A = this chain, B = another copy of it.
Amino acid sequence: MITKSVANVADALADVADGATVLIGGFGLAGHPIALIDGLLEQGARDLTIVSNNAGNGDTGLAALLAAGRVRKMVCSFPRQSDSWHFDRLYRAGEIELELVPQGNLAERLRAAGSGIGGFYTPTGVGTELAEGQEVREIEGRDYLFQLPIRGDIALIGAWKGDRWGNLIYRETSRNFNPLMAAAARITVAQVDEVVELGALDPESIATPGIYVDRLVQVAERPWMRDGVFVGTPEAAVSAASEGSAS
């Protein structure tokens, strides 16, 4: 019998090694697996390479991991935000390495890793300083940059609901990088608000088939939902509005 559910976050992350490459889903805090990142903080692995769109918001999630000095290198598209003070400090102090990848290339490189594509050519970034040192190839009259896959040792995924086969659904724009990262890592751990019965998820909207998920942990329901129904909260409003402008 297939049961991806594990009892708690600590069990799900017990084997993360020092020096691991960790893919962390989410765009800002939407779909960001906060409970798993808190677990990684507690677990203690260090010298990590983190692949995530942003480099932490405020003091929670990835920001907390950065603040604790666990991260050797960030691979991301948009580290600098109004509330990325922990990354900013580390970067200015020369205590963290940064590989800056345009967002669409980052997503596509993760997809390449998950789908066995050896590399691909993108038009994004041609002629810019982010293209320096990269292979340029003219194809059908247009210039492209060669890109390699980005693979992870482990992926931390923020989903909405899952079942014991590991099938996942997301809510709205919290999908973002999560399905790509789930497929791009050797081990994939997902946090969900609820583990539901097999067959309860609509098979047409499962954005991550269970084949990509190794471990599933149920965590507290997101603040703006109650029993799976959107309720909204003024608190959430304040918190989300304070994120500032970033991409």
Chain copies in the assembly?
A: 2
| Min CB gap A208→B, angstroms | 12
Write out, one digit per residue, whether chain A residues 18-54 have a CB within 8 A of any chain B CB (1) or not (0): 0000000000000000000000000000000000000
Best-surrounded residue of A120, A142, A202, A207 (most CB of chain B within 10 A): A120
On whether the beta carbons of B123 and A120 are closer than 8 Å, the reply is: no
Q: Which of A89-122 contact B (CB under 8 A)?
A: 108, 112, 115-122
Q: Per a CB cutoff under 8 Å, which of B115, B139, B172, B207 touches A119?
A: B139
State in angstroms the CA–CA spacing of A115 and B139 once bound together: 15
Write out, one digit per residue, whether chain A residues 138-151 have a CB within 8 A of any chain B CB (1) or not (0): 01101010001000
State in angstroms the CA–CA spacing of A172 and B204 once bound together: 7
- Residue A222, interface by CB 8 Å: no
- Residue A169, interface by CB 8 Å: yes
By a CB distance below 8 angstroms, the chain B residues around A121 are 117-120
| Min CB gap A96→B, angstroms | 26
| Min CB gap A151→B, angstroms | 10
Q: Could you jot down 27 A-B contacts, CB within 8 Å?
A: A108-B115, A108-B117, A112-B120, A116-B123, A117-B121, A117-B122, A118-B121, A118-B122, A118-B137, A118-B139, A118-B142, A119-B121, A119-B137, A119-B139, A120-B120, A120-B121, A139-B148, A140-B148, A169-B204, A170-B204, A172-B203, A172-B204, A202-B202, A202-B204, A202-B205, A204-B207, A205-B205
By a CB distance below 8 angstroms, the chain B residues around A172 are 203-204
By a CB distance below 8 angstroms, the chain B residues around A148 are 139-140
Nearest B residue to A202, CB-CB: B205
Nearest B residue to A137, CB-CB: B118
By a CB distance below 8 angstroms, the chain B residues around A116 are 122-123
By a CB distance below 8 angstroms, the chain B residues around A117 are 108, 120-122
Best-surrounded residue of A118, A119, A203, A205 (most CB of chain B within 10 A): A118
Q: Which of A193-210 contact B (CB under 8 A)?
A: 202-205, 207
By a CB distance below 8 angstroms, the chain B residues around A204 are 169-170, 172, 202, 205, 207
